[in-house]
Amino acid sequence: MVKLIAGKKGAGKTKLLIEAIHSAEQASKGNVVAIQLGSSLNIDIYHKVRLINIEDYKIANYDEMAGFVSGLLASNYDCTDIFVDGILRIVGRDLDKVGEMFDKIATVSGENTTVTFTISADVDDLTENIKKYLK
């Protein structure tokens, strides 16, 4: 399942994401993963959450990101939640391709894993293929 937290820069998306990560960590009977560009979340996240700096893996486009998430799910069958902060900074701003990537990730994550993304864009500017994932 894919969920999306959208809004313009400075709208509080990362704060909402951190709250969601804390809630998932408390409720999860499996593993929680947070993916970020850099190390901005390091001091805000509990140590039980696996933090991944996506820069370490040289992910540069939509297919690579979908493949990375698929690999996480394939290697960790008890991953209940994955959080990705700032998806447009990671893969680019082609919203049609972002929507296609979300569809791929929704297919592989199924109902057992929730993958939550933050996206810095006005909701009105999002494509219909992306809006269907709004939280």
Average pLDDT per run of 10 along the chain, which is 135 residues long? 95 93 95 90 82 94 97 94 96 97 97 96 96 93
Q: What is the value of pTM for the model shown?
A: 0.94
Most distant CA atoms of the chain, gap in Å: 37
Could you tell me which residues come within 8 angstroms of residue 71 by beta carbon, excluding any fewer than 6 positions away?
A: none
Angle at 114 between CA 112 and CA 120, to 5 degrees: 165
pLDDT value at position 56? 95
pLDDT value at position 42? 73
List the strands of the sheet with 79-84, edge to edge: 2-7, 114-120, 79-84, 31-36, 50-53
Tokens at 69, concatenated: 């998430």
